[in-house]
Amino acid sequence: MLKQKKTLIALPVVILTLLLLAGTAYGEEIKTGVINADTVNMRESPAANAKVLIQLPKEAKITVADKQGDWYKISYNDSQGFVFGKYVTLKDAVIDSGTINGANVNVRSKPDKSSEILTKLDKGAKLEIYEYSDNWARIGISEGRSGWVYEDFITVKKVSGSRGETAEPVKTDEQVNNNTEEDIRQQIVGYARKFLGVKYVYGGSSSKGFDCSGFTSYVFKHFGISLERTSTSQGSHGVKINRSDLKPGDLVFFDTNGGLNAINHVGMYVGEGKFIHASSGSTNKVIISDMTEGFYYKNYMRSRRYIED
């Protein structure tokens, strides 16, 4: 059974003002990365004369939370600080995998049939998917490069709850009402994934652009569930659950300012310690992030369930 909630008005003007003053520096995760030089200093602030907190070895895996000028704000183990950008190699997060289902399929430079063809892939070629945009998927090709393939030519294997589990196709609203709870969860997560790569727009609540709570409310509305409009309100209703009891489709809440005293960000849990959300950080779009370590692990606040068991 689906639990109904009433929709509230948009964020008040005072919150908008504060966010505009803060800009995007309050730390949405953008990518993972590795240190590409020997003994790199992680500093207290983004300046060459700032205090050195620790030194990072070559190939150290890091989480990048923000970019400030030529510097990246990063997390490494239990430490946070700044590293000069040229010493960091960013890596795309793989959100899905799949295979090419057509012959001689074009990989293009942009999600557009008129854009440059970078290479061609044969039927059965395996690939990793980094993001989606409309009916296109951005995939890895070679030497750190990526390109775009039309989704009709990809058989996608989506992770939903357990590794290797393939998500069901999104069904109509009429079909959703006849599903079991587990089917509904898979459908909600599958529908949310369709918007990966959609740009972040403050106050946005449509497929043309979302903010974090606009995204969750839009997805749930498709399945007949009305959520409050703000992340704070969404985090104050629903059924309280423990982090250890999360299921795909549950909502997770964070304080991206780092004080752990006020919710200002929401996303949807998709399984395996990851969640999908509209990020206002350097990515500025709908992405999937890890909440088992790094920035979101440290700034997690609570979880709420809007799908009745």
Out of 277, 285, 304, 305, the active site residue is 277
- What confidence score (pLDDT) does residue 157 get? 73
- What confidence score (pLDDT) does residue 71 get? 92
Out of 154, 212, 241, 276, the active site residue is 212
| Residue 222 annotated as catalytic | no
- What confidence score (pLDDT) does residue 164 get? 33
Q: Which amino acid is at 143?
A: E
Strand order in the sheet with 146-150: 117-121, 105-108, 146-150, 136-140, 126-133, 96-100, 154-157
Q: Which residue has the higher pLDDT, 93 or 225?
A: 225
- Region 13-21 average pLDDT: 37
pTM (predicted TM-score): 0.46
What is the tens place of the pLDDT at every residue in 144-202? 678 999 988 988 775 433 323 333 344 334 333 444 555 889 889 999 999 999 999 98
* pLDDT above 70: residue 107: yes
| Residue 212 annotated as catalytic | yes
Out of 73, 185, 265, 274, the active site residue is 265
- What confidence score (pLDDT) does residue 29 get? 42
**In Å, what is the CA distance from 102 to each residue of 22, 105, 130, 228, 292?**
47, 6, 20, 43, 37
Residue labelled with tokens 């959100």: 95
Instruction: Produce one character per residue of 203-225: b if its CB has 16 or more CB atoms within 10 Å, e if not.
Output: ebbeeebbbbbbbbbbbbeebeb
